[in-house]
């Protein structure tokens, strides 16, 4: 497996999954994207909260993860592609703008050019007032790529927030929310 792409030693916990979706009005959202769902831990928390007309699209690049996701969620259509192509993927699925992006990408493993490409792509699909929710590992804040990402984020959002560390997740993590 490409560990730089996956960027995790274990799937996220239900504690982190609960914090990722806390406060999101998924019930009334028109469209929701999930970036890098992996085996589908956040998906478990997202699916029961979606409205009946909400379009939900998970986008996963890694072949092994695609297989694991399909096993866990055989009835959920998954896009096997890079989130760098989010605009085209939305166009192909008749989605103009999305209310939320729930993101499990390992930002601190990404080179800056990729971080920027993905964030530029976010601004092309996320509606004004829409929110990107993502997480970082506590240890990642010490890594150069983690620091770079923290500096980049405010360029793309009008407001940002960060939760306290969720110690029950292994490794400990925090959630970041950016609203356009």
Could you list the residues that contact ligand SAM (CB under 6 A)? 5-8, 11-12, 35-38, 41-42, 59-62, 65, 82-84, 104-106
Task: State the nearest-atom distance from the C-beta of 87 to ligand SAM, in Å.
Answer: 13
Q: d(Cα 162, Cα 176) in Å, to the nearest integer?
A: 5
Is 59 or 119 the residue whose CB approaches ligand SAM more closely?
59
Task: State the nearest-atom distance from the C-beta of 60 to ligand SAM, in Å.
Answer: 5
Q: d(Cα 9, Cα 80) in Å, to the nearest integer?
A: 22
Is 60 or 99 the residue whose CB approaches ligand SAM more closely?
60
- DSSP character string of 112-180: HHHHHHHHHHHHHHEEEEEEEEEEEEGGGGGSHHHHHHHHHGGGT-SEEEEPPPBTTSSS-EEEEEEE-
Task: State the nearest-atom distance from the C-beta of 67 to ligand SAM, in Å.
Answer: 11
């Amino acid at each position: 497996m490409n560990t730089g792409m996956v960027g995790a030693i274990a799937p996220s916990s239900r504690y982190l999954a609960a914090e990722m979706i806390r406060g999101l009005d998924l019930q009334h959202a028109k469209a929701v994207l999930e970036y890098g769902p992996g085996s589908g831990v956040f998906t478990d928390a997202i699916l029961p909260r979606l409205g009946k007309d909400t379009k939900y699209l998970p986008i996963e690049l890694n072949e092994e993860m695609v297989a694991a996701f399909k096993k866990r969620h055989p009835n959920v259509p998954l896009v096997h592609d890079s989130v760098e192509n989010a605009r085209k993927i939305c166009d192909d699925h008749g989605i103009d703008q999305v209310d939320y992006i729930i993101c499990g990408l390992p930002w601190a493993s990404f080179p800056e050019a990729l971080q920027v490409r993905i964030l530029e792509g976010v601004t092309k699909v996320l509606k004004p007032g829409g929110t990107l929710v993502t997480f970082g590992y506590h240890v990642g804040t010490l890594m150069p790529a983690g620091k770079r990402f923290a500096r980049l984020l405010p360029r793309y959002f009008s407001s940002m927030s960060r939760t306290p560390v969720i110690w029950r997740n292994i490794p400990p993590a925090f959630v970041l929310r950016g609203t356009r």
